[in-house]
Structure 1
Amino acid sequence: MSLNCWAKKEKKLKERQKSELNERLFELGASEISEATLEEITDIKLELNFEVDKEEIFWEQRARTNWLRMRDKNTTFFHRSASYCKKKNMVKGLEDGPENLVIDIDEMSKMAANYFKDLFSSKEISDCDRLLASFSPCITEELNRDLMAEFKAEEVAMAIKSIAPLKASEVTKYCLDVLNSWRNMEEINKTSIAFIPKFRSISLCNVIYKIIAKVPVNRFCQVLNYCIEDNQGAFISGRQITNYIFVAYEILHSFKKRRGLLKKGFALKLDMSKVYDRIEWSYLEKMLHRLGFCED
């Protein structure tokens, strides 16, 4: 017996079993109710649910098999998948303010360009001395000496191993020359800006640029625990920012459960869009000086 014949036979057998179970369930529903009848009804329903689950799993596996087997072939399945992705990713319009939908392609292009131009443009910051006054210096002279020490080949090698399987001695020497200010970095400080359908720009950096950036970052990580508070859950090894999702949930849950005078209170949510792109370099420089980092 071929696999096709066996599959057809099994399919007909399962359909007949399901039909018989449904008919029996209908008969039991119309008959007089007793303990034995209720027990049989429960068993039949469980069996029917089990058959439905098996059928769902079968079709999930079948769809996965088709995707793995036919996704790259010049078939109807491939073209349908490609057309669906194109339709799904297509941007049909952009909102320019409340109740103003722009659908013209040229206008949408201008909106996107203006959005990123405004996002990546520097803006004057107001006086932040009062804000900086609330911070106390936390970086000592000893920590500053460690940060400003001459870079070593071992640090570059560690950065290379953490980025990619690359161990060329020429790359290590080149990175050391740049880090220790013996070579101009301008020649490699070039990036390509890629634009993808979700309006999210990506900067494609040179690999050497990544290595040179990684080395001071690894050194800087050693002092982060001195300038980041204990109640902040990000940027410190061993802490998870996701833990504070549960903390926020518990706080809001306690608000709902409070009674009487204890019910008073409020929660403040700060939504800072593109916060990393909006922070000014002048503000960062003042903050670093305030925390005790040396000016060199």
Structure 2
Amino acid sequence: MAEPKIGPRRRFPFRFEKMWLSHPNLSSSVKDWWNVQVDGSAMFQVSKKLRHVKEEVKKWNREVFGDIFVQKFAIQEELGLIQDKDQNEGYVNDNFSKESEVFSKYHKIIAQEETFWRKRSRSLWLKDGDKNLRFFHISTLKHMAANRIGHLVKNGRRIDNEDEISGVVVEFFAELLKKDTLLDLEAQNMLVDIIPKVLSDNQNHNIDVIPSKEEIRSVVFSFDGSKAPGPYGFPMFFFQHFWEVVGEDVSNVVKEFFGARSIQKELNATFIFLIPKKQGIDSLDAFRPIILCNSFYKIISKVLTSRMLNILPLLISPQQNGFAPGSQILDSIILFMKTFIHFWR
């Protein structure tokens, strides 16, 4: 028999689960948790409130919502006992009523489990209503196995230890991201001199004018709420679902960014996630890094890019077909703009 693996338990980042929204008292609880008194700038207040909600919801999940897999097993056991009693004693009204009640709880827990696996399976093409939980489970396991870094090779040496692999990854990207790729000041000034001025002062002003709460709300609700969250662990659906509670604070953060032209470090933190370009690779050069940004960065960048899209026809001539909507070049420009915003502090 294999020896059990001994070592510190891995800590996974917090993630606000969509299945929690099915609980009747969560909305009132989030409202109470969010409305704590915090002094300071809008960004500081939201950072503190998100931390507070995170700690409270983790406690609420342990003490109130509970483990859905344990609950599912208990409900199945209870249902089995009732059905055994029906076979032994015959169907009576009391048993039928109890069985219906337990069946109702079972369907509810199944729906929550489906939501849990749907998020992890990453099968976003699947429409609501399919309760094929085995499919979700298998998709999740395949997704995790495909993206797992089992070993790396550095300087001809194979590295299998998980802690060593983590160290190599951190070292690789720390070296990569500290490289100065910006042009020096003289070269930047030369570029400014040779690029003709196309936009009016009013058009330039409209790009970075402080947005209204209505514009910010429209951007927030334009997102796919199920996308992976950043380090804070709150996906966009959290802000969409609780907009009446958090909307004022979210809007103040975005407005503060446009006024100060800087963003708090915590709100701009990101995860770097490595996607293998093919199976069986063991070099970090063969992974494609993607950045999982916080929701506030996504909101701010989309406000800016939406405004930029309105003036791109003035900057791009009709003959430049490569910049047509949907083209890779235009997508690259938008990606560059978002990246620029990310490092603009």
* Bigger radius of gyration among the two: 1
**TM-score, reference length from structure 1:** 0.42
TM-score normalised to structure 2 length: 0.37
